Structure 1
Amino acid sequence: MPASLPGPTVGVVGGGQLGRMLGEAAAPLGIELVVLDPTPDAPAAQVATDQLVADFDDADAIRDLAERSDFLTFEIELADQESLDEVSDATGVPCHPDPATLSLIHDKLHQKEALADAGVPVPPFRRVDDADELRAALHELGTPAMLKARTGGYDGRGNVPVESVDDAADAMDAVGGPAMVEAFVDYEREISVVAAQGDGEVSVFPVGENIHEAEILREMVVPSRSSDAVLAAAEQVGRDVLELLDGRGVYAIELFETTDGRILVNEIAPRPHNSGHWSIEGALTSQFEQHLRAVVGWPLGATDLRAPTVTKNVLADGDDSRPARVGGVSEVLATPGANLHWYGKREARPLRKMGHVTQVATGDESREELLASARSLVDGLGFD
């Protein structure tokens, strides 16, 4: 679509923090954003043109969304592939990425099988439908291993470490359904490639380093503290993965960098991703602007790194749910190179992602110094 102003309207299935940041990126481009989300006054509704309150699989609501839009996209994998497919065909409103990509992503076993069949490096894995099959797989793959629910898991949900064969029955009960098991990866670090497919072009952001705790992504360091050879290999694997995915948009490819310098694909997200939040301040074009450019068929932006950048997520603390109120913000705002992003969620639940702080180098600060600063700033934030 040739770029002109005012821009088109993009309908987004999902109105969480990713939809919110898409809305923040849409306004300067002259693009209007309408989101669909079951939560009234969802985070994205505070910055988008409008919100339709409906479930992610409500075909009638998705049709209403399409009728108000020139393009459709999604910011959550819970978007219903069949409804998007049917509505897009019936209305002629294109959906990017292609809804078929969701079919590949929804089932982690199918995702790994497709990658392996294409020659993309992945950890050894096996399908397991019951405890006996898991025991047999563990004898082959060894322990410890990681058992993953095939569908529905995110932010570590649905992932169960298995320390020994004796734990097989309890692990399958914890997953609660069809699963796959992966061999333990002796990795140096977890990294990710955020990349975009546009109208005949591909762009790749600098490789980021992801720091997890309890299966939740807590911090991102860009560029990753990897060797140049590893960074080049990671980018190439990211490009190879993109060849398997249909439709325009941003994709996040989560990777393991092994202790011997190999790259293995962990998981794929067909949307902007937490590991790319650093790009809002740290890259010439953010992942959110890039996603919108790609979806509507406009030229992609430059992804060069402005300066070394780190991001730390702000997670709700405590053991209970309560209204979301945070103090200690002044120190973040007063720190050169620090940037605060608040997601507008009304309720703080334990370990819920409420925002993030990004620290961009303003001089010759090392990535370790930037990370220490971001940690200190987030530690200074307090939930009332």
Structure 2
Amino acid sequence: MSVTLPGPTLGVVGGGQLGRMLAEAASPLGVDVVVLDPTPDCPAARVADQIEGELDDPDAVRELAERADVLTFEIETADPELLAEVRAETGTPVHPDPETLAVTGDKLREKEMLAGADIPVPEFVPAGSPAAAENAVDRFGGTMLKAREGGYDGRGNEPVTDPDAAERTLATVGGDAVAEELLDFDRELAAIGVRGTDDETRVFPITETIHREEILRGTVSPPRVDDATRERARDVVTDVLAELDGRGVFGVELFDVDGEILVNEIAPRPHNSGHWTIEGAATSQFEQHVRAVLGWPLGPVERAAPTASSNVLGDVQAPEEATLSGVETVLDAPDASLHWYGKREARPLRKMGHVTVVDSEANGPDENAERALETAEQLRDSLTFQ
């Protein structure tokens, strides 16, 4: 492989924390990054060039493509049809493929794609009308209504157990939804899969994800499951990757139901569940994404040691700048790392950063990571907003 000097430029639709961490990973590889984001001085702008514009502005997306060798995206509100049009006009490749974004951005299409490939998913039915939502509640004895488009961090997902409440709940998620059976799952798992050139795929170690109020609070890797469950999860993620088009990393969220693995959702981009890989894996998910979309060789995915990550969430009511206290405690802790996303407003439940702990005293990468998780959560709790 040869690299032209100066190095390639990666264009990223979206300039939030994922775009920022992509740029941080790209820099040591000699890759420049330019992001498109409507927010002035967005988080990624501190480490990358920014085009200020709406994500669905054809002129702005075209400018991004003209400045880049390859386009990618860090947010699923990117417009897949526009990306395909700009790719055709400019010749700039887009990875993952816009059609993959179109499928994964529609929860009904995503479930239909997975079920059609015999990949296990919760039972589901379309719920585009109050009658359909009511029937789903009766059929499943309670259902999770998920907006077909636009939901994230629990937004657009609402459980409903009373048929009389179905119409009202459907309206709260936007009026067009997919209804899934309410699962009594043991835990949630996830893995970052990656597709490279010539359909090469790799899967990072399976990780347990910890949610509360529908918000991802932290991860622990290895997960607190037996080896057989890990292997089943890895096999499912491998099957998922075979159904997707284009290069890049994909966050695959899973349910563990008494050892049975079901796919919850797919994100065609780096994912919060993979943040632990920055310190805890041989190659981070962000470097892996840069390598993949550029068509470069993929890096190794092995876990270096038991690793846990805990998200720092905003808790300031007023949308204004806040001061974070307790940073010294985290920086003074051995094996701990702090990542700050550079967001200006510390709104309640907004992801502002994360703390990662790698257990360097563990007797191997597959040892129980409970100690790392406890430390990460304690360090997270030592951080306060004022």
TM-score, structure 2 normalization: 0.96
- Pair 1:235 & 2:234 matched: yes
Q: For structure 2, which runs of at least 5 residues remain unmatched after alignment?
A: none
**Residues 320 and 350 of structure 1 are in contact (CA less than 8 Å); yes or no, is this contact kept in structure 2?**
no
SS state at 1:348 partner: coil
2:372 is aligned with what amino acid?
L
**Identity of matched residues, %:** 57
SS state at 2:262 partner: strand
**Residues 190 and 255 of structure 1 are in contact (CA less than 8 Å); yes or no, is this contact kept in structure 2?**
yes
**Residues 336 and 362 of structure 1 are in contact (CA less than 8 Å); yes or no, is this contact kept in structure 2?**
no
Match of 1:380 in 2: 382
Aligned counterpart in structure 2 of residue 338 of structure 1, from 336, 339, 342: 336
CA distance in 1, matches of 2:265, 2:3: 33
CA distance in 1, matches of 2:14, 2:240: 24
- CA, structure 1 residues 202+3, in 2 after alignment: closer, same or farther (shift >3 Å)? farther
Match of 1:84 in 2: 83
Match of 1:95 in 2: 94
SS state at 1:323 partner: coil
Match of 1:174 in 2: 172
1:34 is aligned with what amino acid?
V
Higher deviation after alignment, 216-225 or 365-374: 365-374
* CA deviation after TM superposition for structure 1 residue 309, in Å: 0.2
* CA deviation after TM superposition for structure 1 residue 3, in Å: 4.4
- CA, structure 1 residues 142+74, in 2 after alignment: closer, same or farther (shift >3 Å)? same
Q: For structure 1, which runs of at least 5 residues remain unmatched after alignment?
A: none
- Pair 1:306 & 2:308 matched: no
* CA deviation after TM superposition for structure 1 residue 169, in Å: 2.2
* CA deviation after TM superposition for structure 1 residue 34, in Å: 0.4
Match of 1:265 in 2: 263
Higher deviation after alignment, 77-86 or 312-321: 312-321
* CA deviation after TM superposition for structure 1 residue 2, in Å: 4.4
* CA deviation after TM superposition for structure 1 residue 366, in Å: 4.4
Misfit runs of 4+, over 3 Å:
1-6
- Which residues of 2 match residues 88-167 of structure 1 at below 5 A? 88-143=87-142, 145-167=143-165
Q: Deviations over 1:290-331 (max 9, x none)?
A: 000000000000011110000000000143322132010001
Match of 1:32 in 2: 32
SS state at 1:264 partner: strand
CA distance in 2, matches of 1:175, 1:37: 25
Q: Deviations over 1:92-150 (max 9, x none)?
A: 1101001111110111001101100110000000111222211112211112x211111
**Residues 2 and 298 of structure 1 are in contact (CA less than 8 Å); yes or no, is this contact kept in structure 2?**
no
- Pair 1:356 & 2:358 matched: no
RMSD of the alignment, in Å? 1.2
**Residues 282 and 299 of structure 2 are in contact (CA less than 8 Å); yes or no, is this contact kept in structure 1?**
yes
TM-score, structure 1 normalization: 0.97
CA distance in 2, matches of 1:218, 1:178: 28
CA distance in 2, matches of 1:285, 1:176: 39
SS state at 2:186 partner: strand
- Which residues of 2 match residues 242-257 of structure 1 at below 5 A? 242-257=241-256
- Which residues of 2 match residues 38-49 of structure 1 at below 5 A? 38-48=38-48
